[in-house]
Structure 1
């Protein structure tokens, strides 16, 4: 892949034709070996339904629909092959979808949507792409805090908020997710949009929302198309990172945490600053990690059976259902769906990120807080002295009415292993079975009789520092001031030389 290439198309697999549903189809573009210079995939071809007309073509990634277009482009060659089919004349399609936020190497699926609402797979495009590039050098790096509800996230966020080099919301429940606002903005506004869904009167009628650029698809073949598909997303990524920096820098200043210029020396602890936010396993997290290649990630887990107990108890305490329990009829289905998926998602994330992320167990945080925090701060390259940790724990341990309402046991220690008394035997067995693989990998006892197994030590690869800062307005001002000072110094030296010559 050369510098101008963003996407390499590794293979295009044509699905076996469903002869019951289709007369035929073709994927004209892309082909294996093709390349793209933008963060988009353009797909064109034709598809002809048999018993039911094909009304649309969809493109999907990881089960999520990226885009849909109607099948209505004129294909005279196809109509000659199938003169008896009335809709053969307009059976073509062309769709462009963005890859920002998708895996760096993955696949997108193309499927036909028929008039009877059935779908037929047409093919799979296998690709490799470059990560989204940003020239802006951030002062703060993200601390991505990935976990689930009722796992101890509130307690650990409160601890993080007390560290002098970590900026977080100061207020319960520490759910400030401003970076995710800008990341979602980046993901949406950098995408191409199907022009067929854009009405010419849009900007005369809609004043409350905005979406992907509606003119992107109308500029195919024009030089501006490449700018919209490549330069614009990169510049927008600069804007988003700069905005995140500015807001958290203001927050930090209000907390007495003055963010210094980022040092290129990775061994320099006092100049490393983070902002921290809670993340659920969702596309925002993946895109943030892509845009911030130096980001750190904490994956917090808890015995998933205790999570179940804590969620159910908190629902009872507040008087309404939440944490996914409101979506099912009973506790059995809750364990089979939400609890099972929580365990599976965190296990998948940890296996994918274990060489870069740091794993923390809630139980270790409660039973051995000093050592657990020391390990976290070493991973973050921050001060982990016993005096710093003692001060943080002392401040974070101050109780408040809101924190009291948040708890569902008299003490944190009582919340460990509560599933053995809170869940009836049948639910104990069910939750152990559906979470078995994750429980074992994270070192939990299936019976509850053994102690936690030690976590494996994983060597983290060295993280390279970000490239030199591309001039921005603020940097240009600094550069101009520096040049002006040097010019004044040169003038002064010349004047001194002139005076010396005159005296001689």
Structure 2
């Protein structure tokens, strides 16, 4: 496998899928169309709130089974809000055949590369060429960036960040299938994301690029050229149109609006949707992030009223969360 992969990181609903899908179809890249979750499948401790997982001792056969179960799942999942809808894209038979053909899953690097080769074969029926660079994004990637850099010294990292007020609203809507949710895992996820956003910039320096979602959709030509220059890939027209395996990507927005291309439309929608508890939590925990990345702080609001769709149990939990934090 090519030893100069590109890893995309960022919180849920921050623009990571959009950024990844802008690379889809590029002649120099293999863009993995799903979150591969390398570390989860290999038994690592994941702190990211929404995908939190405690570590466990894992065997080679269990790692292989984890990979197979995940591909089987994404090949049958149809969810407009999911990271990417790849239902029916995969040949599970070819994936299984390829993943079982390899060995040495107890080495993280080898395990990851076996997994990538099997995914490519499943999608294309071909062998992954050494000249193709791999792009992968998973929401928990930020906390493992230094491990990935150790494995791949020539890797590049792109961390996309979105206005924390807008981001918390979007994640909350994503998690609101059964009414207004408990905000604890959402806040933990954002905290994890912003913590590693700062830490990784210090340790990875010139190989770590931070992109604001707002800049990407408002100044796409400028930001995409910056990304192209940073990654060292050629500037191709395809990078301005998000696709998944060559098919137009309609987005995974919680607004149910089909994605037609890079647009700043809807950037301020959150201002009419944000709840007082969300405003106060962002102000309490992420004031530094707001200031550092040039987002305007809005004033705290009274949290006495119920949020839309919030039941008494969740109301209490979310107010206790604020006091606890």
Listed one character per residue, the Cα deviations across residues 145-166 of structure 1 (whole Å, up to 9, x for unaligned) are 2211111122222223332323
Aligned residue among 254, 273, 279 for 1:407: 254
Unaligned runs of 5+ in 1: 1-137, 191-205, 211-234, 262-270, 328-333, 449-504
Alignment of structure 1 residues 173-192 onto 2, 5 Å: 174-178=34-38, 181-182=41-42, 184=44
Residue 224 of structure 2 corresponds to 373
Residue 199 of structure 1 corresponds to none
Residue 241 of structure 1 corresponds to 109
Residue 166 of structure 1 corresponds to 29
Aligned residue among 286, 293, 297 for 1:435: 286
Aligned residue among 171, 174, 178 for 1:319: 178
2:247 & 2:264 partners in 1: Cα distance? 14
Residue 275 of structure 1 corresponds to 135
2:243 & 2:224 partners in 1: Cα distance? 10
Residue 344 of structure 1 corresponds to 195
Structure with greater helix share of residues: 2
Q: How far apart are residue 236 of structure 1 and its match?
A: 6.4
Q: Does 1:299 align with 2:159?
A: yes
Q: How far apart are residue 240 of structure 1 and its match?
A: 4.3
Q: How far apart are residue 419 of structure 1 and its match?
A: 3.8
Report which structure shows greater RCO (CA 8 Å, sep ≥6): 2
- Other structure's SS at 1:167 match: strand
285-294 vs 357-366, which moves further: 285-294
Unaligned runs of 5+ in 2: 46-54, 64-102, 300-325
Aligned CA RMSD, in angstroms, stands at: 4.2
2:297 & 2:184 partners in 1: Cα distance? 27
Closer, same or farther: CA 281–251 of 1 in aligned 2, 3 Å = closer
Closer, same or farther: CA 308–278 of 1 in aligned 2, 3 Å = same
2:192 & 2:38 partners in 1: Cα distance? 26
Structure with greater strand share of residues: 1
Are the counterparts in 2 of residues 302 and 363 from structure 1 also a CA contact under 8 Å? yes
1:300 & 1:379 partners in 2: Cα distance? 14
1:236 & 1:167 partners in 2: Cα distance? 23
Listed one character per residue, the Cα deviations across residues 478-500 of structure 1 (whole Å, up to 9, x for unaligned) are xxxxxxxxxxxxxxxxxxxxxxx
Q: How far apart are residue 379 of structure 1 and its match?
A: 1.1
156-165 vs 387-396, which moves further: 387-396
Listed one character per residue, the Cα deviations across residues 4-63 of structure 1 (whole Å, up to 9, x for unaligned) are xxxxxxxxxxxxxxxxxxxxxxxxxxxxxxxxxxxxxxxxxxxxxxxxxxxxxxxxxxxx
Q: How far apart are residue 308 of structure 1 and its match?
A: 0.9
Alignment of structure 1 residues 155-234 onto 2, 5 Å: 155-170=18-33, 174-178=34-38, 181-182=41-42, 184=44
Bigger radius of gyration, 1 or 2? 1
Are the counterparts in 2 of residues 305 and 419 from structure 1 also a CA contact under 8 Å? yes
Are the counterparts in 2 of residues 143 and 298 from structure 1 also a CA contact under 8 Å? yes
Are the counterparts in 2 of residues 150 and 311 from structure 1 also a CA contact under 8 Å? yes
Residue 459 of structure 1 corresponds to none
Alignment of structure 1 residues 412-431 onto 2, 5 Å: 413-424=264-275, 427-428=278-279, 430-431=281-282
Are the counterparts in 1 of residues 60 and 104 from structure 2 also a CA contact under 8 Å? no
Q: Which TM-score applies when normalising by structure 2?
A: 0.59
- Other structure's SS at 1:416 match: coil
1:354 & 1:418 partners in 2: Cα distance? 34
Listed one character per residue, the Cα deviations across residues 173-201 of structure 1 (whole Å, up to 9, x for unaligned) are x222347635849x9779xxxxxxxxxxx
Are the counterparts in 2 of residues 150 and 307 from structure 1 also a CA contact under 8 Å? yes
Aligned residue among 146, 149, 154 for 2:17: 154
Alignment of structure 1 residues 437-452 onto 2, 5 Å: 437-447=288-298
